[in-house]
Structure 1
Amino acid sequence: MSAAPNTGTGRVLALVLGFVAMVLAAWLAGRAAERSALADLARQARATLTLQSGALHAEMQRQTALPLALASDPEIADALREGAAPGVAERVSARLATIAAATGAAVIYVIRPDGLTVAASNATEERGFVGRNYAFRPYFRDAMAHGSGSQFALGTVSGRAGFYLSRRVGDRLGVVVVKIEFDGVEAAWRAASEAVFVTDPRGIVLMASDTAWRLRSLRPLDAEAEAEIRAAQDFGDAPLSLLPLFPAQDGLVRVGRGAQPAALALLRDAPVGDTPWRIHSLTPIPKAVARERAQAQLIAVLATGLAGFGLTVWLARRARTRTRLAEAAARGAELEARVAERTRALSAANGRLREEMAERERLGRELAQAGRLAALGQFAASMAHEINQPLAAIRSYADNTGKLMERGRVQDAVENVAAIGRLTDRIGGLTRQLKGFARRASGRREPVPVDALLRGALEVAAARAEADGTPLTVEAVPDLAVIGDASRLEQVLVNLLQNALDAVAARPSRRVAVSVAAEGERVGIEVRDDGPGIPEAARGQIFEPFFTTKADGLGLGLAISRGIVEECGGALSVRDAPGGGTVFRVELVRAAPAESRAEETEASA
């Protein structure tokens, strides 16, 4: 008589335990699916930040060489001297207007030591800068004190935000300033429908895809920091109010306005090259995350229910077997049919899971492509640095040519024009290398005269060496040839010469020397400087991509140079120079004299 109540109690307990198991399984599966979806979004956000950071840093580096080149212009120095000839300032203003239009700079202007502007690219405009005093600006004070400066601020005349780059002219004759505006970068962010903004070390938004977020703060400012900002007139009378970002769970934020924010999003940030700025992205949490969570919960409930159902049926079948064996056999067939039906449902669910796995693999391939594009952005920035040097040399040759023509030295002017043509061909070669970055190297190897390699590389580096006052000596065995690609090997020598000039730039007495010698079947080309040398800890990493000892370097030049030399069958190494300094050695396969003469004959034909 007591068996029935015990059986009923056991069934109720089994139902309760089964329900608890399904709820727990659904909750665990939902959390796992949500974390997986958020991890995918985080990887996508990191890839996007890498691309955007590289593009912004490349845009900034495109303008960094301009103030340095203008600071060495003799006509700008003449305009800053007391008792300058009439009309000099007007000619300088006209030239600055042409340069600003060609480079995309917002404005370029020249300031005397007392802070008064004497020439500007907008001198002919109603609100031009000529006659205005900028002695209060930190970028002016830093340039006069230390040689260079920079500042992100609102223009006191235009009211437009921009990045100011400054450089001292001569022996404290004055300062030349270039202002960069980032409207094009922000427009690209908006066109891509991406929520992106950049902050300075204080957390103030300098640029953003949403223009309403400009000059707002990511975190509260203390009274001292706000007083410094107001004193420097960095951002005018902008209120610097807080961004509408509210912390949420699992590192997420809610984006909204007022006391009831909404729009859950993923906030990520990354550095902008070697600047103190950081770039941030807001990735909205789409409905797809909730959908994946619901699907995972449904699958977990189905799987748990099937398991519980199977266990219940098995226990019931065992109980019925004890009492009625015949009836149990018939019901066993029915049970097998039901299990088969549930198995088909589970197989269908497994099929959907496999489809989701394939979709995630596709997303992984897309993220890998994004990573390659980020590397392309970094390489493009390095190539822009390489092109700036021939451009500076072309500018110097062009200015000297005009002066030579005025003095009637036609033959010297013709030689300068020929040098400009060769530098233009070099720039074309560099841009062709950038275009072919995504492809494998051609692997072309042919006899290349070493004299031609030295002539092309020195033509690019000589202008800077002369401007810096650095002696550049060459000791070379004549009529040597090596096996390789002429344009790519010339790029290696230019990079080594530029690195050597950088190393001795701050030395009181400096010298850069190039030597070439034949050693059996090999030819060694060495570039030596008497700079501070390379620390022992850094020497083992000097050829690794993105490793650099320079404050404004990308760390790609030596890595690319070693790759080029090895493709040509050679080797690139570094060692300490006797007495101090550094020696970079390029060792290449020597070409037979007959091969070299045949190559020169074919070229002349």
Structure 2
Amino acid sequence: MSALKEKYGFSIRWLFSSKQLIWLYLGAFFVVVLLIWKGGEALRNQQIKALRIDSFEQLNQLASVLESAIAKYQHMPTLLASNDRVRKALRDGFDSDINQLNRELEQINRITEASDSYILNTDGLTIASSNYREVTSFVGRNFAFRPYFKDAIQGKPGRYYALGTTSNRRGYYFSYPVYEGDSIIGIAVVKVDLTQFEKRFANQHYEFLLLDPDGIVFSSSRANWLYRVLGELSHTELQRIADSQRYYGKSIEKLAIVYQKPFDEKSQIVDVLENTVIDGTEELERLSFLRMSRPIRLLGFQISILAPLKIINEEISLWRTIFAGGVTITALLLGLAMLRRRMLRERSDANEMTRHNQAYIREVIQNTQAGLVTLDEHHKIESFNPAVEKLLGQPLSPLVGQPLGVLFQPDEQDALALSSHNDFLEAANDLGIKVLTREGRLCYSDQTVPVEMTLCKMQLPNRLSYLVTFHDMTERKRYEQDITQARIELEERVKERTFELQGANTRLRHEIEEHKGTQRELIQTAKLAVLGQLSAGLNHELNQPLTAIRAFAGNGLKFLDRGQYEQAHANLQHISQLGHHMGDIIARFKVFARKGDVHQGPIAVQTAIMGALKIMSPRYKEVGIELVVTEDQGFIVNGDMVFLEQVLVNLLANAADAILETPNNPRRVHIEQISTGNQVMICVQDSGNGLSDDAIRHLFEPFFTSKSSGLGLGLGLSISQRIVEAMGGQISAQNRDSGGAEFCVRLPCFNHHLSQFQSLSRESKESIDPKEEI
């Protein structure tokens, strides 16, 4: 055992050293990765610096070429303004002079390679132009809106840049006033087309941008970058550019710059998103450039060169990949060498461990408390440990070589109707069971011990064997008997208690039915009380049409006697309409008085309000209360039409009682409909004195009333609350800041699927959820 402990101690120490080695390798790996990354960055920065030096020279060269090319045109308007033919054409305006001037301008333009040369009068109208033969001729067009005209007409040389409204070509404009004595009689203008410069520098290994003072790309080696802005322009600036018509008809958008970082004082690294076509498919590509800029003072512009960094980035990526691959291969070779060394060491350790394990297993088998028996491939006893002899209390050496059946007998319920123990073992083999558990008894001589047997197949290198484990179940069997007896006694007590609960349940149901009957009677009493309050108004509403019916009937008889059938027919129609009106009034009161259960469904809020008003309007007319109802909002809620009308009738009756108790206040009741998300709120507001704090606290309690003695049962609001809650809503009351009380009924908006679910839920709970009514 001491040798085994030393071996385990060595393994633990080796495990800790292995963990430290792994952490060391991981640290070295991260250091190498960091070095590769930093080395790549240093190499990339060095190459970018070399690129910056070359690009800066190219930038200066490009700016010089552009400045010198444009500078030769800036004095052309001055020369044209001093031409006698120009002054004569402006002064006299003869067609012959203008035609001759057009030909001269065309020739001058051809010699100087300018884009266009033209002459404007003092109104800004073009009288002669070098492109007079072309479809896009400037002759007859007015350019008074251009800033170069405004500057020249004030006697100053003019400069401007814009997209031509006629030619639709970008150009830089030079202008100069034409004098006749001290008076300005016209303007000479020369336009320089920048397209020639774009073509000249289009095939370079870099991209260039010519930016106007607002940062808008005026010229570029990439056509799709034109009229893009590199910075940010405010709405005011964009409006100013649009009003100037500088880029007539062009949309000013921002260039898709997704990354921008300064490289040094004179350059920066810029990443731009660009649509490229690859194999006929348009894809979004990210392009990286080194950008350098310098101003062109002659034009007031700024020119930029964007040198691509794609080749540098690819070289750095390739360098990193090669170096990382070399490091990885070296690490793998080193790891393979260490793995082989470890495998040899572990093989030696395994052989040593096997010898120690064999000795350890023998000690475990001899000292375990469970009985162990080994069987050969024919299911005969080979060996056993002392725990089996301890279970039976006698030596078992005579059983070696005997079948297991002479020692162990399974219980009847576990034997599976097998005739012998050999059949039992063979059945386990046929079923492919490697671990088989059965309960039974160890029987030898006159000793019997209840045990649990576990049979396990062991496939040894040279043969098949079985390991049988026996666990003593004497205590477990005793516990099972005790538990069975306790379960029988518990079942008897449960039966007795169940019988008592059934009796109590029957009595409770009987009391509930009596309580529901009492509630229905109280509800009906409250409804009849409301009907009694409305009876006077009902008599008045019915007496008026009855009186009219008698009058129309008498007149009709006279008309019949006289043969005036049309007048008699008209009287009968009036009688029919009055009869329908009386029937509608009586039907409303019949519906209000009937009993029934809540039936959920879609109902129109305005319809329920109008139904309640038909019932209450006679009483309101009688006592002179004004009703104010908001317009129909088209709200649909989930509820019961009859019960909602009954709740509203109760609230309107209470509002009338509150107003009549305060005779000095204005008599007005206001009904509002408000949508609050997934609910609709119906509010009844009166002009009474409001509610006391004690009334608000107990308002919805049964038999509580704030009215004068003898004017109410105190059940109306309690029953209304139950009805509204049965429809899935709430009812509340509060005092208004302007005076009077406000009662609000909140009901859920109608939802088709929710209505179906509530219908199913109501059917499942019908036996336990009482439905209440007014």
TM-score by structure 2 length?
A: 0.37
Query: Which structure: larger Rg?
Result: 2
Write 1 or 2 for the structure with the bigger share of strand: 2
Q: Specify which structure has the bigger relative contact order, considering alpha-carbon pairs within 8 angstroms and separated by 6 or more residues.
A: 1
